[in-house]
Amino acid sequence: MGSMNDSNLILAENDMSALSPERRAGIDYPDRIAWLLDDLIRIPIINKRIGLDPIIGLIPGAGDAVTTLLGLYIVGSAVYYRLPKLVLLRMGLNVVIDALVGMIPVVGDAGDFFIKSNRWNMNLLRRYAGERRQPGLSDYLFVGSVLAVVVAVIAASVWLAGASLLAGFNFLRSINLF
């Protein structure tokens, strides 16, 4: 992927040296999602990369929900690689911040050009995936709690979009435009 420079790639490879080739290859799929959402298109004049996140985010309510759910796949991959709870929390917060900013009309769409939560989370995944640690029940409960909060944020986003559309429709109907 063109988003990582050589020194970051070397750092990521060194951090994952303890992983078997199969587990290292398993990181490719979440990395592809992060690349599609955050880095797919290079804007030549400003040399900035954007992905599908700001484009999909233009769909009111559903767009940000879809990109947030895709971002949660990366967090789920982090559970598979047994990342520490604190790192999982940081990854979950990255997704929540992206979702919350995305709920703000116009600002959220512009924010997707700067908030690269999926790429940030992939960098964390690559950095900590090589640590050997056996997950316990508390790890799964913690991740479940973080995911429940993220799903609640998605549900609030969809509800807010629906309520806004309904209010707008009722207003237009009250002034006899419908």
Q: What is the DSSP string of the chain?
A: -TTS-HHHHHHHHHHTTTS-HHHHHHTHHHHHHHHHHHTSEEETTTTEEE-SHHHHTTSTTHHHHHHHHHHHHHHHHHHHTT--HHHHHHHHHHHHHHHHHHTSTTHHHHHTTT--HHHHHHHHHHHHTTS-----HHHHHHHHHHHHHHHHHHHHHHHHHHHHHHHHHHHHHHTT--
Overall pTM > 0.75: no
Any domain includes 84 = yes
* pLDDT at residue 5 tops 50: no
Any domain includes 33 = yes
pLDDT for the residue 24: 62
The string of pLDDT tens digits covering residues 17-68 is: 555 565 566 788 899 999 999 999 898 988 888 898 888 888 876 888 888 8
Q: Which domain holds residue 114?
A: 6-174
Stronger pLDDT, 178 or 170, i.e. the higher one: 170
Mean pLDDT of 80-109: 84
Any domain includes 109 = yes
Stronger pLDDT, 5 or 22, i.e. the higher one: 22
Any domain includes 159 = yes
Instruction: Provide the domain count of the chain.
Output: 1
Any domain includes 164 = yes
Any domain includes 97 = yes
Any domain includes 136 = yes
The string of pLDDT tens digits covering residues 114-166 is: 889 999 999 999 988 876 666 677 777 877 787 788 788 778 877 887 888 88
* pLDDT at residue 98 tops 80: yes
Any domain includes 1 = no
Among 5-9, 52-56, 116-120, 168-172, which stretch is predicted with the lowest mean pLDDT? Answer: 5-9
